[in-house]
């Protein structure tokens, strides 16, 4: 089991100071709009890689009118103490500590993994490829934290190539060097994506039939297709180098790089209707998304290579009919990682019975309600 058994926030969003003592059961946060429920999930999400579930700037999360930065501390499974501090007066960087000793975000990623679902993701199947790519890359990062670094290296090289292309006159040797870096990071990204797609599809296929429909996933990108066929690093690297090289003239015309893993799409088919997920009803899409996120959590737990993930579900319960809600709670109760849920009213969580703990959230304060 992976669970936060204590969480404390200092000057984070609308919390001046808060400490929650918890057990390993799912945590249900309820309270009125604007009370600070999502802020608590956002605080938990800071313990994962990246900038958390709102992708906010670090300084944005500092409580308004607070002079310094913010601090978060948690105890994992009653044992390990982890903390993150942002000192806006100093370096404006996050300081991570594990059991009091300085640690890197990578050390943290070995101890805690987090998967989340927020209302902002509701349109992911209907939106553009970049939304789906971001959604999927976040899942990849939860499985393989190094994916974030590969993506950052890729983005840097891509910005350099685009700057060169915009000038219209490309020095071949310079372009070769940038494209080699782009292809190196791009190959790593494509392989990571292929590994996680396969693990996710296996977990989806193994899910029970019923309340959360299954999806069939494909990655639409040449490098990922090669990785899924089992091609080795060198072959995928050469494929990308060729694509960038042969696309130079076209890219100069367009003013940007038109091919590569930064254009990959995640195609999702709603299996019961065999139609693209974007054509499913709003409720079906939500149920499909929940199924995907649950499969991802199961795949992470089953991988055995790290801790079971915490699962953050913002406003998921309110959109489900009572049967689906009960089915979701049954699944959350037996997951290897603690689930965190939000809703405006306590009755939404009734079907949990005593299998969950409830926290009443009220404008910057939160109290255990039993
Ligand atoms: N940096 C900040 N400093 C102080 N308060 C903040 C800060 N950022 C956000 N808030 C406040 O936090 C509140 C929003 O909290 P949150 O999004 O967690 O609400 P919620 O309980 O999830 O509401 P809903 O049910 O509407 O989703 C708002 O009142 C907002 O003004």
Q: How far from 57 is each of 19, 60, 88, 198, CA to CA, in Å?
A: 23, 5, 12, 33
How confident is the model over 268-279, as a mean pLDDT?
A: 96
Q: What is the Å distance from ligand 1's center to 14 Cα?
A: 6
Residue 336: pLDDT over 90: no
Of 109, 106, 66, 104, nearest to 87 (Cα)? Answer: 66
Output the pTM of the full model: 0.94
Nearest atom within ligand 1 for CA of residue 60: 1
The confidence score (pLDDT) of residue 51 equals: 86
The confidence score (pLDDT) of residue 88 equals: 67
User: Which of 68-72, 157-161, 177-181, 221-225 has the least mean pLDDT?
Assistant: 68-72
Q: How far from 239 is each of 193, 222, 282, CA to CA, in Å?
A: 17, 8, 39
Burial of residue 19 (CB within 10 Å: 0-12, 13-18, 19+) is exposed
CA distance linking residue 189 with residue 183, whole number of Å: 10
Residue 91: pLDDT over 70: no
Q: Which domains does the chain show, CATH number per domain?
A: 1-113+306-370 (3.40.50.300), 125-281 (1.20.1050.90)
Percent of the chain with pLDDT over 90: 83
The confidence score (pLDDT) of residue 304 equals: 64
Q: Whose CA is nearest to atom 4 of ligand 1?
A: 14
Asked whether the beta carbons of 160 and 171 are under 8 A apart, the reply is no
- In terms of average pLDDT, the best of 30-39, 86-95, 140-149, 303-312 is 30-39
Q: What is the Å distance from ligand 1's center to 215 Cα?
A: 34
- List, in sequence order, every residue forming a beta bridge with 7; answer none if it has no partner: 20, 74
The confidence score (pLDDT) of residue 86 equals: 86
Tokens at 221, concatenated: 């990108």
Write the pLDDT tens digit of every residue in 189-220. Answer: 999 999 999 999 999 999 988 899 999 999 99
Q: Is the ipTM of this complex over 0.85?
A: yes
For tokens 């350099």, the residue is 160
Mutate to test the pocket of ligand 1, among 18, 29, 34 (most ligand atoms within 8 A of CB): 34
Asked whether the beta carbons of 316 and 118 are under 8 A apart, the reply is no
Nearest atom within ligand 1 for CA of residue 39: 18
Write the pLDDT tens digit of every residue in 162-189. Answer: 999 999 878 999 999 999 999 999 999 9
Of 150, 157, 154, 151, nearest to 178 (Cα)? Answer: 157
Q: What is the Å distance from ligand 1's center to 38 Cα?
A: 7
Asked whether the beta carbons of 38 and 340 are under 8 A apart, the reply is no
- In terms of average pLDDT, the best of 19-23, 83-87, 146-150 is 19-23
Asked whether the beta carbons of 154 and 133 are under 8 A apart, the reply is no
The residues, ordered by sequence, that sit 6+ positions from 1 with a Cβ below 8 Å of its Cβ are: 24, 77, 308, 336, 337, 338
CB atoms within 10 A of CB 160: 17
Write the pLDDT tens digit of every residue in 219-235. Answer: 999 999 999 999 999 99
Q: Whose CA is nearest to atom 28 of ligand 1?
A: 34
Asked whether the beta carbons of 341 and 40 are under 8 A apart, the reply is no
Asked whether the beta carbons of 355 and 331 are under 8 A apart, the reply is no
Of 226, 250, 220, 228, nearest to 238 (Cα)? Answer: 226
CA distance linking residue 78 with residue 22, whole number of Å: 9
The confidence score (pLDDT) of residue 301 equals: 85
The beta strand positions in the chain, using DSSP E, are 4-12, 15-21, 27-30, 70-76, 80-86, 94-98, 101-103, 114-117, 215-220, 265-270, 275-276, 310-313, 339-343, 357-362, 365-369
Residue 364: pLDDT over 80: yes
Nearest atom within ligand 1 for CA of residue 32: 25
CA distance linking residue 143 with residue 302, whole number of Å: 11
């Amino acid at each position: 089991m992976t669970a936060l058994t204590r969480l404390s926030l200092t000057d984070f969003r609308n919390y001046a100071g808060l400490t929650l003592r918890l057990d390993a059961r799912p945590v249900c946060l309820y309270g009125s709009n604007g009370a600070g429920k999502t802020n608590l999930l956002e605080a938990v999400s800071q313990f994962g890689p990246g900038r958390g579930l709102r992708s906010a700037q670090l300084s944005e999360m500092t409580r308004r009118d607070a002079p310094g930065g913010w601090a978060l501390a948690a105890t994992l499974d009653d044992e390990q103490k982890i903390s993150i501090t942002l000192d806006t007066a100093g370096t404006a960087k996050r300081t991570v500590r594990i059991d009091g000793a300085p640690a890197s975000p990578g050390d943290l990623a070995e101890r805690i993994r987090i998967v989340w679902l927020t209302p902002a993701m509701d349109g992911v199947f209907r939106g553009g490829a970049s939304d789906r790519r971001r959604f999927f890359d976040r899942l990849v990062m939860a499985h393989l934290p190094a994916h974030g670094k590969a993506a950052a290296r890729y983005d840097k090289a891509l910005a350099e190539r685009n700057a060169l292309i915009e000038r219209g006159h490309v020095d071949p040797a310079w372009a070769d060097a940038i494209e080699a870096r782009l292809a190196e990071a791009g190959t790593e990204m494509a392989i990571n994506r292929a590994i996680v797609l396969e693990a996710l599809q296996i977990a989806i296929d193994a899910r029970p039939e019923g309340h959360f429909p299954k999806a069939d996933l494909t990655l639409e990108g040449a490098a990922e297709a090669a990785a899924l066929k089992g091609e080795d690093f060198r072959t995928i690297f050469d494929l990308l180098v060729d694509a960038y090289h042969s696309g130079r003239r076209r890219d100069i015309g367009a003013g940007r790089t038109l091919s590569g893993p930064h254009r990959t799409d995640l195609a999702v088919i709603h299996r019961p209707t065999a139609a693209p997920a974007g054509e499913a009803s709003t409720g079906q899409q939500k149920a499909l998304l929940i199924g995907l996120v649950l499969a991802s959590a199961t795949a992470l737990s089953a991988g055995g290579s790290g801790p079971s993930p915490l699962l953050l579900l913002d406003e998921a319960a309110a959109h489900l009919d009572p049967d689906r809600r009960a089915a979701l709670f049954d699944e959350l109760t037996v997951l290897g990682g603690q689930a965190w849920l939000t809703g405006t009213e306590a009755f939404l969580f009734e079907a949990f019975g005593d299998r969950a703990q409830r926290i009443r959230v009220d404008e910057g304060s939160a109290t255990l309600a039993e």
